[in-house]
């Protein structure tokens, strides 16, 4: 029993590897039931879609290290926006986000036949963290004088009438760091509804902001993205990862149970 | 030759063979995209090789990652911040006439330069001016906003009116949890009697929250693994 407790961790890695590999190669569909916080994010976008000339701000605050979790959310939300004729302005608060978000915006916009400058615009990265948010709250054109193509924001049809954050109907942040909790919630405009998508590691810390209404909705990790894909009825990479996620979770639960049983068995024998 | 060296050579040889096969069968295009995919696959496998044991391949990939990240962030910061904000908007160099005149940018530019004086023992004291400004402005912005966002607005759901519903039950749980955890962190009173019992309830709430955080952490890490394995199976090997 002692030997079983001190099992080589590489054996666990092998189980996890095959637990991921096999469901990806031979997918087994698992039921995906959208949670309350993901559904409320979806309903916010649906509410915005009913407004006259709706525009949302998508803030990209993630990088390559969290791309597998966040990118499926980006794709799903862009699809939802473009399918409902919601105009999208994209900004980056993380330097790495530009290279990930811009291609996604352009690819999804092309898929829905959207025109740059009229239906969507990409402002790129601006250093300054929360200072950028404060600046946008005062004067959007001062915070982002030009887009990534070098066009002044005043000359872009979509952004010419956006003077501050309050001119957006909804703000959504894709976060893999402090951006939701320490930048947007304290320094964003309270009167503009705000929601976020984050890595699974961050999600438990953000639930209190759902209770208080500071967050209108929350997409937590790959499962949040999969639930959103289910809501827009467009299953993609997040949904494909769910069977692997479920199998690996079962393996880990089995190892935890096994480890605890072995521990108690050795303690009784001692 | 040691077992480790054999494993290392075997891994590199197998990786080379697989790539030759992928390029010759046309599964990977013979262009920069194909080369990039091959490189990304190689670096992914090199980083995961640490799960077996620390090795030169892992070290190489780790150093490449650190170097590329630093260079990328330097490039972005230079073009978006130093060049875009100061060189263009302040000095008008490379300006197409649309940036306007931003003389006020002189102030943060000077403060930024003052920070660099820390490298000099003789004039390093000048950096204190910049730091004093930074700390003062930071505190001025942060204190009221944090009190509002993290204290006042968080108190509202804790004091919500009770009702016979799932939300009402949640409100009671939140109230009990907040009070019990606060009592647990009340170190100026001995944790005996009623205080001890309430603080034990607080420990249970803390343990449950740690468990939830740990569960979410596992989910997050596995999502990243799924993303990488999907890349290897789909983009690199074309098996999906």
Output the CA–CA distances (angstroms, integers) from residue B163 to A6, B23, B168, in the order listed: 51, 66, 5
Contact A212 B229 (CB under 8 A): no
Q: Is the predicted ipTM greater than 0.95, yes or no?
A: no
- What CA–CA distances, in Å, run from A5 to A209, A258, B53, B102, B214? 40, 9, 21, 66, 21
The residue that leads in pLDDT, A211 or A20, is A20
Enumerate residues 6+ apart whose C-beta is below 8 A from A86. Answer: A45, A48, A49, A54, A55, A56, A80
CA-to-CA distance for B29 and B37, rounded, in angstroms? 9
Q: How many residues does chain A have?
A: 270
Q: Which member of B150, B222, B239 has the closest CB to residue A248?
A: B222
Distance CA A196, CA A221 (A): 11
Contacts of B130 (CB under 8 A, 6+ apart): B111, B112, B114, B115
Residue of A63, A66, A127, A238 for testing the chain B interface, max B β-carbons within 10 Å: A127
pTM above 0.80, yes or no: yes
Interchain contact, A69 vs B228, CB within 8 Å: no
pLDDT tens for A69-120 read: 999 999 999 999 999 999 999 999 998 899 999 999 999 999 999 999 999 9
Report the percent of chain B where pLDDT is more than 90.
Answer: 65
Q: Does B220 touch chain A (CB under 8 A)?
A: yes
Contact A174, A57 (CB under 8 A): no
Contact check, Cβ <8 Å, B80/A125: yes
**Inter-chain CB proximity B223 and A241 less than 8 Å:** yes
Q: Does A222 touch chain B (CB under 8 A)?
A: yes
Task: Give the model confidence (pLDDT) of A214-241 as tens digits.
Answer: 999 999 999 999 999 999 999 999 999 9
Residue ranges of alpha helices (H) inside B49-150 are 56-77, 106-116, 127-146
Residue showing tokens 């926006």? A81
Helices (H), ranges, chain A: 2-5, 9-25, 36-49, 67-83, 97-111, 130-138, 140-143, 185-187, 203-211, 221-231, 237-269
Mean pLDDT computed over A202-220 = 94
Residues in chain B: 240
- For residue A162, give both structure tokens: 């956006």
Give dist(CA B231, CA B240) in Å, integer: 10
pLDDT at B42 over 90: yes
Q: Do residues A212 and B231 make contact, with C-beta atoms less than 8 angstroms apart?
A: no
Beta bridge partners of A163: none
Q: Mean pLDDT over residues B22-30, rounded?
A: 94
**In this structure, what token pair is assigned to residue A250?**
């079962």
| Eight-state DSSP code of residue A146 | B
User: What is the distance between the alpha carbons of residues B226 and A24, in angstroms, rounded to a whole number?
Assistant: 8
Which residue from A minimizes the CA distance to B159? A212
Q: How far apart are CA B188 and CA B174, in angstroms?
A: 24
Residues of chain B numbered 20-39 and touching chain A (CB < 8 Å): none
């Amino acid at each position: 029993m002692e030997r079983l407790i001190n099992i080589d961790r590489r054996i666990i890695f092998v189980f996890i590897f095959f637990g991921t590999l096999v469901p990806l190669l031979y997918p087994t569909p698992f039921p995906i039931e959208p949670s309350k916080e993901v559904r409320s994010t979806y309903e916010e976008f649906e509410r915005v879609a009913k407004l006259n000339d709706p525009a949302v701000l998508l803030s990209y605050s993630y990088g390559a290290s969290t791309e597998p979790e966040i990118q499926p959310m980006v794709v799903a939300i862009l699809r939802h926006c473009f399918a409902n004729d919601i105009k999208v302005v994209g900004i980056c608060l993380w330097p790495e986000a530009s290279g990930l978000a811009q291609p996604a915006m352009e690819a999804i916009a092309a898929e829905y036949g959207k025109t740059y400058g009229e239906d969507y615009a990409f402002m790129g990265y601006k250093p300054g963290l929360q200072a950028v948010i404060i600046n946008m709250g005062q004067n959007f054109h001062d915070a982002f004088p030009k887009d990534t193509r070098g066009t002044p924001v005043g000359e872009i049809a979509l952004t010419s009438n956006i003077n501050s954050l309050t001119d957006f109907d909804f703000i959504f942040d894709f976060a893999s760091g402090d951006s939701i909790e320490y930048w947007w919630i304290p320094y964003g405009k309270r009167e503009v509804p705000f929601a976020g998508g984050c890595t699974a590691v961050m999600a438990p810390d953000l639930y209190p902001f759902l209770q208080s209404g500071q967050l209108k909705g929350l997409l937590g990790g790959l499962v949040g993205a999969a639930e959103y894909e289910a809501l827009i009825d467009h299953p993609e990479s997040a949904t494909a990862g769910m069977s692997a996620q479920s199998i690996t979770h079962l393996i880990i639960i089995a190892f935890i149970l096994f480890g605890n049983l072995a521990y108690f068995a050795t303690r009784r024998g001692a | 030759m040691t077992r480790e060296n054999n494993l290392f050579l075997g891994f590199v040889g197998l990786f080379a063979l697989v790539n030759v096969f992928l390029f010759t069968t046309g599964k990977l295009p013979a262009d920069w995209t194909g080369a990039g995919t091959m490189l990304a696959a190689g670096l992914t496998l090199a980083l995961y090789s640490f799960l077996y044991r620390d090795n030169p391949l892992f070290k190489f990939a780790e150093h490449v990652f650190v170097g590329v990240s630093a260079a990328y962030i330097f490039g972005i910061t230079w073009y978006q911040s130093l060049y875009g904000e100061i060189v263009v908007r302040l000095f008008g160099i490379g300006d197409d006439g649309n940036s306007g005149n931003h003389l006020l940018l002189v102030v943060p530019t000077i403060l930024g330069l003052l920070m660099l004086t820390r490298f000099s023992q003789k004039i390093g004291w000048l950096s204190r001016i910049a730091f004093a400004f930074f700390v003062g402005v930071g505190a001025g912005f942060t204190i009221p906003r944090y009190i509002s966002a993290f204290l006042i607005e968080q108190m509202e759901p804790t004091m919500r009116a009770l009702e016979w519903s799932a939300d009402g039950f949640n409100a009671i749980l939140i109230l009990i949890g907040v009070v019990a955890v606060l009592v647990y962190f009340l170190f100026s009173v001995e944790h005996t009697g009623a205080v001890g019992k309430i603080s034990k309830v607080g420990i249970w709430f803390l343990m449950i929250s740690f468990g939830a955080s740990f569960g979410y952490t596992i989910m997050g890490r596995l999502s990243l693994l799924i993303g990488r394995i999907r890349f290897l199976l789909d983009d690199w090997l074309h098996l999906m």
